[in-house]
Amino acid sequence: MKPFRLEKVLEYRKHLRLDARNALASAISDEQTLLNHQAQAERQKQQQMGELATFAQSENFNIEAAARRRYFMGQLDIQLMVVAEQLIQARMIVEQQRMVLVKADQEVKSLERLYEKYVEEQTAQEQKRSEIELSEQWQSANWCW
């Protein structure tokens, strides 16, 4: 069977698809890291709010400790806003990478369909050649002079 003339292109497209998959996985991992960071900052903020409420209810109210808690909560709010912006960017990157992967996958599938069609045609030609050879052999063996 003759080699498929687009074999190298198919291999290259498969390589591009693999790269697109890896890039998508990396983008999803980055997004998950940001989500974890956001959840951790929210837990810390809730903890600080709880401690501040405890201070407010106690008889020995420590103004400095309460001020430190409020300041830390303000810093956590800033972190949460930054992470929220980063999450927006990360989600956009994930969506872009997903679209790149879909396009790469479509290109590979189209070449794979061409390859399958090529193999079917080659198989049909080989089968036809084989039938002709068998027919000629049978005719030469059964020909009476």
Q: What was the pLDDT predicted at 99?
A: 97
Domains belonging to the chain, first-starting first, are: 7-135 (1.10.287)
What confidence tier does 107 reach under pLDDT thresholds 50, 70, 90?
very high
Residues 108, 17 contacting (CB under 8 angstroms): yes
What confidence tens digit (pLDDT) does each residue in 125-142 have? 999 999 888 888 887 777
Token pair of 17, please? 């698809």
Q: What is the DSSP letter of 3?
A: P
- Check whether 93 has a pLDDT greater than 90: yes
Q: What is the DSSP letter of 2?
A: P
What confidence tier does 145 reach under pLDDT thresholds 50, 70, 90?
low
- Residue with token string 């090529």: 118
Q: What was the pLDDT predicted at 136?
A: 82
Q: Is the dihedral of CA 38, 41, 47, 50 positive or negative?
A: negative
Helix 7-57 to helix 63-142 angle (10° resolution) is 160
Q: How much is the average pLDDT of 13-20?
A: 97
DSSP three-state, residue 26: helix
What confidence tier does 52 reach under pLDDT thresholds 50, 70, 90?
confident
Torsion angle (degrees, nearest 10) of CA 104, 110, 115, 118: -160
